[in-house]
């Protein structure tokens, strides 16, 4: 009789252990160690296709950079303080005008001070060393190139989702663009990444873009929409984002204003990845 009971007891024990593991809750917060530099390797691959007067042109670029997040510590409000800068940045481009490689020395060492909530929301951004932008650097000018994952306000379990609505303005291509969107995150599991146990978070976003500007004498208004998907790896024990891969697809239209009555359709595919060294 005892021998008959043992398999049943073992099965029951494994069953309840599985339930216990799946029911574990996580309270996600950033907790970067004070007075420590966090170095990330970043790659941004971009493909943009536009049609001008019936002629299609494709521009490809790859930007590789090394970013430093200097963790200062927490302020009196419990928010995390960082100084962000680039240690190196290089852009390789391919276009109908030819191929080129540019070392972005004007961006290296330029600092941005950030105040972030423990959930990753930007409370304040202060540009310490400003730099003028150009077509190659685009929206990276005077901005941090690492966007931390938006963490949920409440405790969550594996399989849970949360949503974040955001709106932000970006200076690029001689204009100002308003980027608004809704992102849904899902906690999918725990596994090894970059040498440590990390929670894996998947995301999907719908976004809208609108703006206006002037570039090389061409005054325009712009509007568009897009989608993005991503996978992030969060070190729960240390409260640090270890890595992220994000893919974005955009469809936009530039319409000339004034005497320049021209409509330029644009499609853009961009993949951003970064990993903690």
Q: Which of the pair, 4 or 60, is modelled with greater confidence?
A: 60
pTM: 0.84
In a domain, 1, yes or no: no
| Model pLDDT for residues 74-103, shown as the tens digit of each residue | 999 999 999 999 999 999 999 988 999 999
Domain membership of residue 10 (yes or no) is no
**Burial category of 272 from C-beta neighbours within 10 Å (exposed 0-12, middle 13-18, buried 19 and up):** buried
Residue 260: predicted pLDDT? 65
**Distance between CA atoms of residues 68 and 62, nearest Å:** 19
Is residue 109 left, alpha or beta, with left meaning phi > 0 and alpha meaning psi from -120 to 50?
Answer: left
Per-residue 3-state assignment (H helix, E strand, C coil) for 33-86: CCCEEEEEEEEEEEEEEEEECCEEEEEEEEEEEEEEEEEEEECCCCCEEEEEEE
What pLDDT sits at residue 116?
96
Sorted by sequence, the CB contacts under 8 Å of residue 231 that are 6+ apart come out as 200, 201, 202, 203, 244, 245, 246
- C-alpha 145/C-alpha 67 separation (Å) is 8
For the chain, the straight-line distance linking the first and the last C-alpha, in angstroms and rounded, comes to 57
- Give the range among 53-62, 72-81, 124-133, 267-276 with minimum mean pLDDT: 124-133
For residue range 168-227, list pLDDT tens digits in order.
877 766 678 888 899 999 999 999 998 899 999 999 999 999 988 887 777 888 899 999
Mean per-residue pLDDT, 39-65: 92
User: For 164, how many CA atoms within 13 A lie in the half-sphere containing its CB?
Assistant: 17
Asked if pLDDT for residue 10 goes beyond 60, the answer is no
On whether residue 12 sits in a domain, the answer given is no
Cβ pair 89, 103 in contact under 8 A: yes
As a whole-number percent, the residues of the chain with pLDDT over 90 amount to 62
Strand partners, 3: none
Q: Is residue 17 assigned to a domain?
A: no
In a domain, 6, yes or no: no
104 lies in some domain: yes
Q: What is the pLDDT of residue 19?
A: 44
Do strands 98-103 and 218-235 pair parallel, antiparallel, or not at all (unpaired)? unpaired
The burial class, CB within 10 Å (0-12 / 13-18 / 19+), for 110 is middle
Mean pLDDT (whole number) for 247-255: 92
CA angle 33, 157, 194 (to 5 degrees): 45
Please check whether residue 65 lies inside any domain of the structure. Answer: yes
Provide the pLDDT for residue 173. 62
| Residue 120 confidence (pLDDT) | 95
Q: What's the pLDDT tens digit per position in 114-153? A: 999 999 999 999 988 877 654 444 444 556 678 899 999 9
Band the pLDDT of 258: cuts 50, 70, 90: low
Residue bearing the bigger pLDDT, 266 or 54: 266
Distance CA 152, CA 23 (A): 17
Token digits of residue 40: 């990330």
Domain count within the chain: 1
Helix and strand numbers (H, E) in the chain are 1, 12
User: Could you give the angle at the alpha carbon of 19 between the alpha carbons of 155 and 2, nearest 5°?
Assistant: 155
The CA-CA-CA angle for residues 247, 253, 259, to 5°, reads: 150
72-79 long-range CB contacts below 8 Å, 24 or more apart?
72/34, 72/35, 73/34, 73/35, 74/34, 75/115, 78/118, 79/115, 79/116, 79/117, 79/118, 79/123
- The sign of the dihedral angle between the CA atoms of 164, 146, 224, 251 is negative
Please give the angle made by the CA atoms of 41, 45 and 48, to the nearest 5 degrees. Answer: 155
CATH code: domain of residue 260: 2.30.230
Q: How far apart are CA 87 and CA 67, in angstroms?
A: 6
Selected residue with higher pLDDT from 253 and 134: 253
- Give the structural domain span for 189: 28-276
Flag whether 66 is in a domain.
yes
Confidence of residue 15 (pLDDT cuts 50, 70, 90): very low
**Residue 264's pLDDT band (boundaries 50, 70, 90)?**
confident
């Amino acid at each position: 009789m005892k021998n008959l009971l043992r398999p049943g007891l073992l099965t029951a024990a494994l069953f309840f252990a599985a339930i216990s593991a799946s029911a574990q809750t996580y309270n996600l917060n950033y907790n970067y160690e004070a007075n420590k530099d966090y170095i990330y390797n970043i790659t941004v691959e971009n493909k943009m296709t536009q049609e001008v007067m019936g002629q299609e042109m494709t521009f490809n670029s790859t930007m590789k950079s090394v970013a430093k997040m200097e963790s200062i510590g927490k302020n009196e409000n419990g928010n995390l303080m960082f100084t962000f800068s680039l240690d190196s940045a290089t852009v390789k481009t391919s276009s109908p005008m030819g191929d080129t490689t540019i070392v972005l020395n004007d961006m290296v060492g330029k600092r941005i001070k950030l105040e972030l909530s423990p959930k990753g929301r930007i409370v304040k951004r202060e540009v310490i060393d400003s730099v003028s932008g150009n077509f190659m650097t685009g929206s990276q000018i005077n901005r941090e190139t690492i966007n931390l994952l938006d963490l949920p306000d409440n405790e969550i379990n594996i399989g849970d989702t949360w949503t974040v609505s955001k709106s932000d303005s970006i200076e690029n291509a001689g204009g100002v663009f308003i980027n608004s969107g809704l992102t849904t995150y899902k906690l999918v599991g725990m596994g090894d990444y970059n040498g440590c146990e990390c929670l894996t978070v998947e995301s999907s976003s719908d976004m809208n873009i609108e703006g206006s500007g002037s570039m090389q004498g061409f005054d325009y208004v712009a509007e568009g929409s897009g989608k993005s998907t991503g996978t992030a790896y969060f070190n729960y024990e240390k409260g640090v984002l270890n890595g992220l891969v994000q893919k974005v697809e955009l469809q936009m239209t530039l319409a000339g204003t004034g005497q320049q009555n021209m409509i330029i359709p644009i499609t853009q595919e961009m993949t951003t990845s970064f990993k903690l060294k």
